[in-house]
Amino acid sequence: MITNDSSVCPLCTNPFGDTGSVSAPADTLNCEVTCARCGTFNLTDSAQVLYFGTLPGVQGFSERRHLLCGLARTAFDAGSRLTVNEELCQRIEGGRERGRTVPEKIDLLMHWFAIQSKHLGDPVATDDEVAYPVAFCRNAKEWTFLRSSCLERGLLIHADPGFDVVTTKGWEWLDERPKAAGDRAFIAMSFHPDLKPVGDAIEKAIRDAGYQPTRVDQHEYVGGVMDKVLALIRQSRFVVADFTQNRGGVYYEAAFAAGRDIPVIPTCRVDHLDPENKSDRLHFDVSHLNFLSWDDQNLPDFQKRLQLRIEALFGRGPRTRAIASL
Burial 276-293 (b: 16+ CB within 10 A, else e): eeeeebbeeebeebebbb
Query: For the residues 103-119, what does the mean pLDDT come to?
Result: 84
Amino acid 93: pLDDT = 76
Amino acid 215: pLDDT = 84
Query: For the residues 206-222, what does the mean pLDDT come to?
Result: 73
Whole-model pTM: value is 0.56
Query: For the residues 148-161, what does the mean pLDDT come to?
Result: 91
pLDDT tier for residue 24 given thresholds of 50, 70 and 90: low
Q: Is the pLDDT of residue 2 over 50?
A: no
pLDDT tier for residue 45 given thresholds of 50, 70 and 90: confident
Weakest mean pLDDT among 69-73, 90-94, 212-216, 318-322? 318-322
Of these ranges, 104-118, 134-148, 214-228, the one predicted with the greatest mean pLDDT is: 134-148
pLDDT tier for residue 225 given thresholds of 50, 70 and 90: low
Task: For residue range 226-285, list pLDDT tens digits in order.
Answer: 777 888 888 788 999 999 988 888 999 998 888 887 889 999 998 887 767 666 777 777
CB neighbours (10 Å) of residue 245? 15
Amino acid 222: pLDDT = 39
Task: For residue range 116-152, list pLDDT tens digits in order.
Answer: 887 888 899 888 999 999 999 999 999 999 999 999 9
Closest C-alpha among 218, 185, 186 to residue 315: 185
Amino acid 151: pLDDT = 94
CB neighbours (10 Å) of residue 111? 24
Query: d(Cα 116, Cα 112) in Å, to the nearest integer?
Result: 6
Amino acid 57: pLDDT = 43
pLDDT tier for residue 1 given thresholds of 50, 70 and 90: very low
| Mean pLDDT of the chain, nearest integer | 79
Question: Which amino acid type is present at position 47?
Answer: A
Amino acid 313: pLDDT = 81
Percent of the chain at pLDDT > 90 equals 24
Taken in order of first residue, the domains within the chain and their CATH numbers are: 21-93 (no CATH), 102-179 (1.10.10), 182-317 (3.40.50.450)
Q: Is the pLDDT of residue 7 over 80?
A: no
User: Does 1 or 170 have the greater pLDDT score?
Assistant: 170
Q: Is the pLDDT of residue 59 over 60?
A: no
